[in-house]
Structure 1
Amino acid sequence: MNQQPRENCPVLRASNVMGDQWVLLILREFFLEGPRRFQDLQDILKISPNTLSGRLRRLEENGVLERQAYSQNPPRWEYRLTKRGEALAPVMSAIRAWGEAHTPDLPDTP
């Protein structure tokens, strides 16, 4: 890695978008299943509505996801990866490969 000012390095900028575990798990769902609805994500991830809403908004603001209305009354949205989001495929594959190679399976939960 070349020496760049740490205040504006690409890793910092990427982490501002990716942020936390929830963002990675949300993105995982898009790469596994394609376009997703809010409720689908909430049901699968068991994430609070406020947390999910905030992460989706961040991803949308950063051009990783886009949303399209599928119901007017009440308003409901479907989210999908943008070209910028699809460009994360090798990153997500690398994270998955690293996890398979370097982390143990989690114990089964009852």
Structure 2
Amino acid sequence: MPGQERASRTLQRRSSLSNQARALVAAVAACAGLVGCASATDVVATDKPGIYTVAASAAGGRMAWARAHESAISEARDYCERRGMQSSVTTETVSGVAMMTVHASSVNFECHPKF
């Protein structure tokens, strides 16, 4: 009997952990659905020497413009950092202001040596 009780308690604990894990996954998925995500294009060179451009977009919610902006800025920064430099934004164009529409940010930037 003691062995069966121990096995039963172990099974109950595993079941409880499994239920907690499922609840956590469901909560994360629900939050991700509400927050939305941003996606960015690859960085490309413009027709002006030393000037690059990257665009990002995000949908869903009031802060979609901020996610699009941050994604574009982050891509520019990462691009320059991979080259041992720092980014400097020259222009940014944004679109989409209405809720639940796609918001976009297009950033032109340069890479400069780090000081």
- Greater RCO between the two (CA within 8 Å, min separation 6)? 2
State the TM-score bracket (shorter-chain normalisation).
under 0.3
TM-score by length of 2: 0.24
What's the TM-score once normalised by structure 1's chain length?
0.25
